[in-house]
Amino acid sequence: MENHKIKELINLTKKYISDKEIYTIGKAIEFSSKAHNNQTRQSGEPFINHPIEVAKILASIKLDTSSIISGLLHDTIEDTEITLHEIKNFFGNEVSDLVEGLTKINKYSLIINNLKFGENYRKLLLAATKDLRVILIKLADRLHNMKTLYFLDDNHKQIRIALETLEVYAPLAQRLGMRDWQDQLEDLSFTFINPEARKSILERLEYLNSKDINIIDEIRYDLKKIFIEENTDCTIVGRIKSPYSIWNKIKSKDISFEQLSDIMAFRVITNSSRECYRLLGVTHRKFTCIQGRFKDFISSPKNNGYRALHTSVIGPQNKKIEIQFRSKVMDQIAEFGVASHWKYKDPKKIKANDTKEYKWMYELLDLMNQSNSQDELIENSKIKLFQDSIYVFSPKGDVIELPKNSTPVDFAYSIHSEIGDKCVASKINGKLQPLKSILKNGDQVEILTSNESQPSPLWERFVATSKVKSQIRKFMRSKKREEHIIFGKEILINAFKKEGIEFSIKALDKVLEKFNCKKSEDIFELVGSGTITSANVLKTIFPELKISFSKNINLSSGSPIKLKGLTAGMSYHLAGCCSPILGDNIVGIVTAGIGVSVHTVDCETLTSYSDSPERWLDISWEKNNNSTQYSIARIKVVLQNKAGSLGKVTTIIAKNNGNISNINFSTRKKDFFEIIIDIEVRDTNHLNNIIAALRLIKEISSLNRIKG
């Protein structure tokens, strides 16, 4: 280990950290050095140099002690035998939480499809990170890795890492207002991604500099002179823009290097926002303003808190220059972003009349300073960005953005509508989970599909995405019309047959206008949905026909309408008063606007329809031995209050392939329980087998099926 690197780190921390905390940092250096003993980097230097350099970068922006210690330990979990438990014992909960957060981010980078970086991955890192400092430490880690990337002898890997840095970490730095780190990350990435373009830009800049060696200082002097005449105390900093920034403008504006108007940028740092506006006015009076180049980020700050005034003018020596006006605090936030919060420990120092200028920093600082404990401090510094969204992985590593409380069904439709329509199950992080499970940040989701599957009306109750709800409704409308047409046609054919009349489409054509229909399918739909009855259609076609109605349906004769290929809850509804299941003797009741309600023939509710025989339908189940559809049957069990008695009941149900969906204790007494059990069964035969098996249990006093 190089002692001078440790001395540099300690000297940086001495500027703002107490001796007691510096001692703890020294312990962290020893701990990390021991953990990484005998490990080396690609450069051949000891591995410990990397965490020390990361800690130095963090200390350069005056980040707190826990962050610096975490920077020293950030690779120990993944690259050594050290555990989180050990870190927690040595350095406490705060440091172990930061290190754990860094480890989680690194795991995400292993899942992510490295060819598809982008905004969603950046948002995932922010949304999944509970503490801002985790992101700052990760950025410092990436910054040092980029500075040493040239030691890597694999060019393809260099380019991949540089691309990831440019598309993920540099924009993250920008989002958090870390302008200095953003510039470094972008330019270091540019070195590997497009070395020829960078070299060309540097050569052009050197040529311009050779023509006007002192141009930056001369313009800075001229500006300073003008502002002194206005009795204003300010600092002026000038620079040539970075090669990557120049390259970006050449690309985005589709212009040549010679056409660039603002290669030079100057920053005027004042004492207040009021002075920023005053010096802007002075500048515009003295120099010609370039139209369309003025931006006021003081009255309308950027979403990362950046505030400044920007303008471009034909400045001193007739040069096109960009000038930014910032107050001192604006400048701190512009350079260090969220990290500037750790620089200002006392928000009371902020002047009352400058509240607006300091608002973005003040609010976060105030939250942190109100924290009475370490846990509360961490809670108050949690990232609130993107709190209305979550970010999950596809099996291929793509990051998908979804609304908060989304389910696997939302995820399936976000991939493709066909996958959504055909989904039957989901795997979340490799484990089978219900389709209504709530997804969390960082979950890896896989959708299982079946060509025979279709959307369920129940999905609309739990999906979070408005678009998905709309797609489900659209499918249901289409499917419902399709089923109503099938059902309505069957009802009419049956009605014609019952009256001894041969059914024909031509007969329906005569009454299309009467029912405001354009084609026969429209009449079928009206009959299937219960809007009109088969009797209405027959009487319209044959006005003199005497229709004989009977509610005493002989289930053993005739040809009842089979519920073939129809969906419960769509073209027909299972009545809640008697809860029919496959195998029950059933009858249909036509209700306008609802369709057909299916009742058991012994349902007490049927007496209320005795005066409307035209609404009764002779229907039956479609017998299908291969059906995998299940219905819910309800039984009431009176059970002796003995240890293990309920276990016997559930065991018998399971052994007979029944699945309990709900248990409710309706009565609890000293000697017995009365229990209502909902069981998923194939049909009445399956239910009867379960009931027969249960009646053999001696602890059961009575048992019967409840209809309704």
Q: What is the average per-residue pLDDT within 112-140?
A: 63
pLDDT at site 703: 93
Segment 75-82 mean pLDDT = 89
Pairwise CA distance, residues 509 & 506, whole Å: 5
Among candidate residues 456, 466, 465, 404, the one with its CA nearest the CA of residue 435: 456
Q: Quick one: tokens of 376?
A: 């509360």
Is the confidence at residue 49, as pLDDT, over 90? yes
- 419, 479 contact by CB (below 8 A): no
**CB of 275 within 8 A of CB of 281?**
no
Lowest mean pLDDT among 57-66, 402-411, 416-425, 507-516: 507-516
Q: How far apart are CA 178 and CA 200, in angstroms?
A: 27
Is residue 126 within 8 Å of residue 175, measured between CB atoms?
A: yes
Residue 3: is its pLDDT beyond 80?
Answer: no
Three-state DSSP class for 664? Answer: strand
Residue with tokens 């603002």: 262
- Please spell the DSSP secondary structure of 152-220, one letter per residue: ---HHHHHHHHHHIIIIIHHHHHHTT-HHHHHHHHHHHHHHH-HHHHHHHHHHHHHHHHHSTTHHHHHH
Say yes or no to pLDDT of 295 above 50: yes
Catalytic residue among 2, 30, 78, 366: 78
- Pairing type for strands 445-449 and 595-600 reads unpaired
| Span 579-626, pLDDT tens digits | 888 888 888 888 776 778 889 988 988 888 887 777 888 888 876 655
Cα separation, 251 vs 495, whole angstroms: 74
pLDDT band at 128 (very low <50, low <70, confident <90, very high): low
Task: Report yes or no: 89 and 180 within 8 Å, Cβ to Cβ.
Answer: no
Phi-psi region of 445 (alpha: psi -120 to 50; beta: other; left: phi over 0): beta
424 three-class SS: strand
Using pLDDT thresholds of 50, 70 and 90, give the confidence band for residue 353: very low
Provide the H-helix boundaries in 454-504.
459-462, 466-498
Going by the DSSP 8-state scheme, the letter that residue 554 receives in this structure is -
Q: What is d(CA 5, CA 420) in angstroms, rounded to the nearest whole number?
A: 56
The closest alpha carbon to 124, from 159, 171, 89, 90, belongs to 171
Residue type, 325: F
Quick check: 369 pLDDT over 60? Answer: no
Query: Which among 73, 179, 178 is positioned nearest to 136, based on CA atoms?
Result: 178
Choosing from 19, 64, 75, 79, which is the catalytic residue? 79
pLDDT of residue 555: 43
Whether pLDDT at 181 is above 50: yes
In tens, the pLDDT along 642-683 reads 889 999 999 999 999 999 989 999 888 888 889 999 999 988
Buried (b) or exposed (e) across 434-451, using 16+ Cβ within 10 A? ebebebebbbbbbbeeee
Q: How does residue 201 score in pLDDT terms, banded at 50, 70 and 90?
A: confident
**Cα(155)–Cα(271) distance, integer angstroms:** 48
- Calpha distance 89→227 (Å, rounded): 57
Show me where the domains of the chain are located: 3-193, 199-347, 389-464, 473-620, 631-706
Active site residue 78: yes
Q: Which residues contact 31 (CB under 8 A, 6 or more apart)?
A: 72, 73, 76, 90, 91
- Range in 85-89, 199-203, 646-650, 702-706 the model is least confident about: 199-203
Could you read off the pLDDT of 259-272 as tens digits, one per residue?
A: 665 678 899 999 99
Q: In angstroms, how far apart are the furthest CA atoms of the chain?
A: 111
Coil vs helix vs strand at 506: helix
Residue 557 pLDDT > 70, yes or no?
Answer: no
Q: DSSP states of 90-116 as a string?
A: HH-HHHHHHHHHHHHHHHHHHHS-TT-
Does the domain at 389-464 match CATH 2.60.40.1180? Answer given as no
Could you confirm whether 331 is annotated as catalytic?
no
pLDDT above 90 (res 68): yes
Q: What pLDDT score does 470 carry?
A: 82
Residues of the chain with pLDDT > 90: what percent?
28
pLDDT-based confidence at 561, cuts 50/70/90? confident
CA-closest candidate to residue 115, choices 394, 398, 395: 398
Point out the least confidently predicted range of 81-85, 141-145, 351-355: 351-355
- The tens digit of pLDDT for each residue in 383-395 reads 444 456 787 888 8
CA-wise closest residue to 486 among 351, 622, 363, 381: 622
At 623, phi and psi to the nearest 5? -75, 125
Class (C level, CATH) for 631-706: alpha beta
User: Do the beta carbons of residue 279 and residue 324 sit within 8 Å?
Assistant: no
- What's the pLDDT score for residue 376? 45
pLDDT at 371: 44
SS in 3 state form for 132-163? Answer: HHHHHHHHHHHHHHHHCHHHCCCHHHHHHHHH
What pTM, to 2 d.p., does this model score?
0.56
- SS3 assignment, position 431: strand
Instruction: List, for residues 584-595, the tens digit of each pLDDT value.
Output: 888 888 877 677
Residue-level pLDDT at 129? 58
- Burial category of 667 from C-beta neighbours within 10 Å (exposed 0-12, middle 13-18, buried 19 and up): exposed
* Ranges assigned E (strand) in 154-205: none
pLDDT at residue 188 greater than cutoff 80 = yes
Residue 582 in contact with residue 631, Cβ under 8 Å?
Answer: yes
Write the CA distances from 377 to 62, 132, 281, 370, 445, integer angstroms: 18, 11, 43, 8, 33
Per-residue pLDDT reduced to its tens digit, 440-488? 887 889 999 988 888 888 898 899 888 888 888 888 888 888 888 888 8
> Which of 577, 614, 583 minimizes the C-alpha distance to 599?
577
Q: Do domains 199-347 and 631-706 have the same CATH topology?
A: no
pLDDT value of residue 626 = 55
- Phi/psi at 238 (nearest 5 deg)? -125, 150
Token pair of 648, please? 């016997």
CB 631, CB 605: distance < 8 Å: no
Q: What is the per-residue pLDDT across 98-109, written as a single tens digit (0 to 9) for each?
A: 888 887 776 665
- Cβ–Cβ < 8 Å for 323, 312: yes
| More confident: 309 or 381 | 309
CATH number of 3-193: 1.10.3210.10
Of 472 and 189, the structure prediction assigns the larger pLDDT to: 189
pLDDT at 361: 41
pLDDT the model gives residue 339: 64
Q: For residue 347, what pLDDT is reported?
A: 36
pLDDT at 685 over 60: yes
Who contacts 660 (Cβ-Cβ below 8 Å, separation ≥6)?
650, 653, 654, 677, 678, 679, 680
Average pLDDT over residues 130-152: 88
DSSP 8-state symbol, 658: -
Whole-Å CA distances, 544 to 538, 539, 540, 556? 10, 7, 9, 30
pLDDT for res 356? 43
* pLDDT value at 531 more than 90: no
Average pLDDT over residues 313-334: 87
Instruction: Give residues with Cβ within 8 angstroms of 23, minimum separation 6.
Output: none
Superfamily covering domain 199-347: Beta Polymerase, domain 2 (3.30.460.10)
User: Which are the contacts of 459, defined by CB distance < 8 A and separation ≥ 6?
Assistant: 409, 435, 468, 472
